[in-house]
C-alpha cells in the first residue's frame, strides 16, 4: 500500500519484538554498511528486539554476520539456510533447507545454467561472491558490471526458469536455485526454532524491512512490512508492496525505521 512510515500506529510499533531485514540497499548504501545502520541494529538488540538479516548474500558472508554483528542469526542465500552463533558454546548452528546430497546435485545443474546465461546474455557476469555460496547461483547485472537493461535481466530470469529453477531479482543480482524455499519459509523456521515465535498466532510481533522485488514474499506476508525509500524505484514491479515506506533510502531509511520503533516505546 506504500503509506508513509509516519502512519505506522504507535501501539503496533510498541509490540514488535523481532525485526527481519534485507541487507543490500536496505542496510547498505552503495554497497557499504554505514555506521548509522550498524548502530541501529545494536540499539534494537539493546532494548530486547531481535534483529535477523534475511539476505541473498552467500554462506561465507552469513557466517561472519552471525558471529560478529549484533544479530540473533541470519537467513542467507534467499532462504537456503539459517545460521545462528551460540556464544555460550562458541558453536555455529547451521540449518539447511536442502540436504548435502541435494545441494551437490543442484550445483551441477546450476553450473549448466551459468554457462547458458553467460553465453546468451552479453554483459552478465557471475557474482563476485559466488565462491562463498553453498546453494544458489548469483548473476550480477549491476553490482560489479555496467548496469544491464531490464530486458537482459528478464532474459536471465527466463533462462533459470526454463531449466526448472526458481529465480528472484534483487537490487543487484538475479539469484537462482532449486528447491521449494524462499526468504519467507526459512524465516518462519528461524522464528519458530530459535526465537519461539509462531507468526501465525502472533504476526504483530514481527516486522520486515526490505527494498526490492525479491522481498515480495515477505512484504506480502508480514502486516508490519516496511520499505526503505528506494523501494519506490521498483513500484511498478511490486505485486506485493510493503505496508509502510520510509522517507530515506538504504541504511538511512533503516535507521529511520528503528528510531520509529524505539521512539514509540519512549512515548
Domain covering 100-177, topology: Hypothetical Protein Ta0175; Chain: A, domain 2 (3.90.1070)
HEC string of the chain equals CCEEHHHCCHHHHHCCCEEEECCCCCCCECCECCHHHHHHHHHHHHCCCEEEEECCCCHHHHHHHHHHCCCCCEEEHHHCEEEEEECCCCEEEEEECCCHHHHHHHHHHHHHHHHHHHHHCCCCEECCCHHHCCCCEEEECCCCCCCCCHHHHHHHHHHHHHCCCEEEECCCEEEEECCCCCHHHHHHHHHHHCCCCCCCCCHHHEEEEECCHHHHHHHHHCCCEEECHHHHHHHHHCCCCCCEECCCCHHHHHHHHHHHHHHHHHC
Predicted pLDDT of residue 1:
63
Domain ranges across the chain: 3-97+181-266, 100-177
Global pTM value: 0.93
How confident is residue 129, by pLDDT bands cut at 50, 70 and 90?
very high
Q: What is the pLDDT of residues 140-195, one digit of tens each?
A: 999 999 999 999 999 999 999 999 999 999 889 999 999 999 999 999 999 999 99
Across the chain, what does the average pLDDT equal?
Answer: 96
Q: What is the pLDDT of residues 71-115, one digit of tens each?
A: 999 999 999 999 999 999 999 999 999 999 999 999 999 999 999
How confident is residue 241, by pLDDT bands cut at 50, 70 and 90?
very high
The dotted CATH code for 3-97+181-266 is 3.40.50.1000
Amino acid at each position: 500500500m506504500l503509506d508513509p512510515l509516519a502512519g505506522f500506529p504507535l501501539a503496533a510499533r510498541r509490540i514488535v519484538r523481532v525485526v527481519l531485514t534485507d541487507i543490500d540497499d536496505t542496510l547498505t548504501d552503495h554497497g557499504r554498511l554505514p555506521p548509522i545502520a550498524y548502530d541501529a541494529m545494536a540499539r534494537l538488540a539493546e532494548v530486547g528486539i531481535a534483529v535477523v538479516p534475511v539476505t541473498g548474500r552467500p554462506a561465507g558472508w552469513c557466517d561472519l554476520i552471525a558471529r560478529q554483528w549484533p544479530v540473533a542469526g541470519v537467513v542467507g542465500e534467499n532462504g537456503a539456510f539459517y545460521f545462528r552463533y551460540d556464544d555460550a558454546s562458541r558453536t555455529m548452528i547451521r540449518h539447511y533447507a536442502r540436504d548435502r546430497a541435494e545441494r551437490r546435485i543442484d550445483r551441477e545443474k546450476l553450473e549448466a545454467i551459468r554457462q547458458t546465461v553467460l553465453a546468451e546474455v552479453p554483459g552478465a557476469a557471475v557474482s563476485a561472491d559466488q565462491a562463498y555460496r553453498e546453494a544458489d547461483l548469483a548473476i550480477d547485472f549491476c553490482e560489479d558490471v555496467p548496469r544491464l537493461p531490464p530486458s537482459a535481466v528478464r532474459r536471465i530470469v527466463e533462462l533459470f526458469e526454463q531449466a526448472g529453477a526458481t529465480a528472484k531479482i534483487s537490487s543487484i543480482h538475479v539469484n537462482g536455485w532449486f528447491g521449494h524455499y524462499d526468504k519467507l519459509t526459512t524465516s518462519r523456521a528461524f522464528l519458530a526454532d530459535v526465537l519461539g515465535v509462531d507468526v501465525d498466532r502472533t504476526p504483530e510481533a514481527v516486522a520486515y524491512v526490505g527494498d526490492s522485488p525479491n522481498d515480495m514474499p515477505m512484504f506480502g506476508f508480514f502486516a508490519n512490512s516496511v520499505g526503505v525509500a528506494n523501494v519506490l524505484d521498483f513500484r511498478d514491479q511490486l505485486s506485493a508492496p510493503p505496508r509502510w515506506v520510509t522517507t530515506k533510502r538504504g541504511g538511512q531509511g533503516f535507521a529511520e525505521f528503528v528510531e520509529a520503533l524505539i521512539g514509540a516505546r519512549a512515548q
